[in-house]
Amino acid sequence: MADVREINPHRYNNNLAEALKKFPEFKKPEWVDFVKTSASKERPTFEQDFWHKRAASILRQIYVKKVVGVQRLRTRYGGKKNRGVRPAHFFRGGGKIIRVLLQQSEKAGLLEKSTGKPGRQLTAKGKQLLESIK
């Protein structure tokens, strides 16, 4: 079996997103279609499976980095804002989407709060799910 880090991340996240659709805890809130994912974005995302793909991406990040908090994920999903004539400036991603996804993952039993470092880590069920995806 191939390690999660060795698989193409784009293809892996799509396969994991399809697996996450089977969990009843991962429901897309109504407000997601109206909010931007970051201050650096100009418009909200129009992607149909955005919620499950972002959840898959977050779970993969936690698998790779072991313990991850909301602030580190905000930095990961941020970007440079085009400010016109002024130089571009980095803005972190929005925290509400990340927090809700982490809470849904905890309800599904895939994540738990870490006892050592602040943040969240995968449970045995979460590791098993992520390692079963190809």
How far apart are the two ends of the chain, measured CA to CA in Å? 8
Q: What is the pTM of this model?
A: 0.88
Residue length of the chain: 134
Domain count, the chain: 1
Q: CATH no. for residue 63? A: 1.10.10.10
Per-residue pLDDT of the chain (134 residues; tens, 9 = 90+): 567 888 888 898 999 999 999 999 989 899 988 988 888 888 888 888 899 999 999 999 999 999 999 999 999 999 999 999 999 999 999 999 999 999 999 999 999 998 888 999 999 999 899 888 88
Nearest to 92 by CA among 43, 42, 45, 38: 38
Domain containing 124 equals 4-132
